[in-house]
Structure 1
Amino acid sequence: MDTSRDPIIELREVSLTLQGSAGPVNILRGVDLAVGRGESVGIMGASGAGKTSLLMVLSGLERATSGSVRVAGRDVGAMDEDALARFRGATLGIVFQGFHLVPAMTALENVALPLELAGVREAFAKARESLLAVGLSHRLDHFPAQLSGGEQQRVALARAFASAPDLILADEPTGNLDMATGAKVMDLLFNLCAERGATLVLVTHDRSLAGRCGRRMTMRDGLLAENGEAFA
């Protein structure tokens, strides 16, 4: 795919420096990335390479120290916190390794909550539809503790897709699941992205999962390269 035609992600010379106990730590070091709409990109790399930090910068949950971050045509670095929250609610779906569900809320309430916070009309109806799409219509009123790990991650998927986002960011989404359950969750994730035309950026340690993506990249010491390219 020619990512220059209609990029949903454009990163140029993006750096991220955080303050550690021993001084500044360079997490991202001049990352360039263009991703076209509808693409799937798998990013691999060792722990500490900067993969999760890259997703944090893309979502605006972490602000880049320098460089340009544009997502869905918006300058992420120029938005204040309120604008970022609205932007995430309308544009992004995020799936974490930890399920990040509210223990005191049912599956339906967990999916509806971000829709309500974003001011979406008929939030519970949309949440119900999203849970139906991941095969959990029979678990609407169950709390996270009453659900298996695979079911909790499917609730997280339903939450991520409920707002019909253009972009899904997935950070080790099978990390807390056994192999068989993880495979089912990933089938669901790829199918939902394909059905809805959503762009997927997937961070994973699993080479076979990365191999299911249209593009494969590797992150090392804060640098990002297409597979087959040499690091500087």
Structure 2
Amino acid sequence: MTQPILSLQDAALSLKGNAGQVDILHGITLDVHSGDTLALIGPSGSGKSSLLMLMGGLEQATGGRVTALGRDLTAMGEDDLARFRRDHMGVVFQSFHLIPTMTALENVATPLELAGARDAYARARAELVAVGLGHRADHYPAQMSGGEQQRVALARASAPRPDILLADEPTGNLDEANGAAIMDMLFDLRDRHGATLVLVTHSAELAARCSRVIRLRDGQIAAPAHQDAAE
């Protein structure tokens, strides 16, 4: 079998809070292979988003090991992690995280410019067209609906052609119609660019479209099974 694109070996995450140390993830061992579509499901507080953050190097594991594309994320500093994400990962958040003072086109072009792409604006415009927002390229986030903002966020994440696309509750802030449209776009972007897709969701419909489903409970993998429904 080929080397996993993402691998966690006994990964743990503990954070210090006002009440002392809080153990969030315990002994997570998981391999994700190129081309997988993986849904992370489970009740609120089960550690789904924290696990996604470990996979993206947005949180540093406090135990065990996390590797992506053969690189040990647990051994990398913040600057190296930021460059690795820029070159290999796209991340989509529930709350969009668009830059309010930039137009849709500028938001999508920014990671391409940071990566040194000479055709950053042409590629950004093409991604906006792909998500049905070519006509909104010069609009600012405040001038767009939630569904449109999430589409801009998807275009921004996919424009650099990432190897790994991570999505944290990408339909969580959207109504049913916009949520369904974002689901379709996620899988379309994955198909067009060949990215490996890992997403956190409470949507049983979105989870059912993935090739694998992992359920978390109390910071641990409870049961990997296709038949599980999201909670």
Determine the structure 1 residue equivalent to 2:15. 18
Choose which of 22, 25, 29 in structure 2 pairs with 1:32. 29
- Residue in structure 1 matching 2:225, options 218, 224, 227: 227
Q: Identity percentage over the alignment?
A: 59
1:122 and 1:5 map into 2 onto residues whose CA distance is 33
Q: Find the counterpart in structure 2 of residue 161 from structure 1.
A: 158
Cα deviation for residue 117 of structure 1 reads 2.0
Opposite residue 78 of structure 1, the aligned amino acid is A
Counterpart AA for 2:19: A
Pick aligned residue for 1:196 from 185, 193, 209 = 193
Q: In structure 2, what residue type is equivalent to 1:134? A: V
TM normalised by structure 2 equals: 0.94
Question: Which ranges in structure 1 are unaligned for 5 or more consecutive residues?
Answer: none
Offset from partner CA, 1:2-59 (integer Å, 9 cap, x none): xx42310110000001012211111010001101100101110111111111111111
Q: 1:228 offset after TM fit, Å?
A: 7.5
Structural mapping, 1:53-132, within 5 Å: 53-132=50-129
TM-score normalised by structure 1 residue count: 0.94
Runs of 4+ aligned residues of structure 1 deviating over 6 Å after TM superposition are none
Which of 144, 149, 154 is the matching residue for 1:152? 149
Query: Can you give the 5+ residue segments of structure 2 that lack an aligned partner in the other structure?
Result: none
Query: Letter of the aligned partner of 1:50 in structure 2?
Result: G
Confirm or deny: 8 A CA contact 2:213 2:226 kept in the other structure. Answer: no
What is the CA RMSD across the aligned residues, in angstroms?
1.3
Letter in 2 for 1:226: P
Distance 2:77 2:188 in 1: 34
Q: Which residue of 2 aligns with 1:136?
A: 133
Decide whether the 8 Å contact of 2:208 with 2:226 is kept in 1.
no
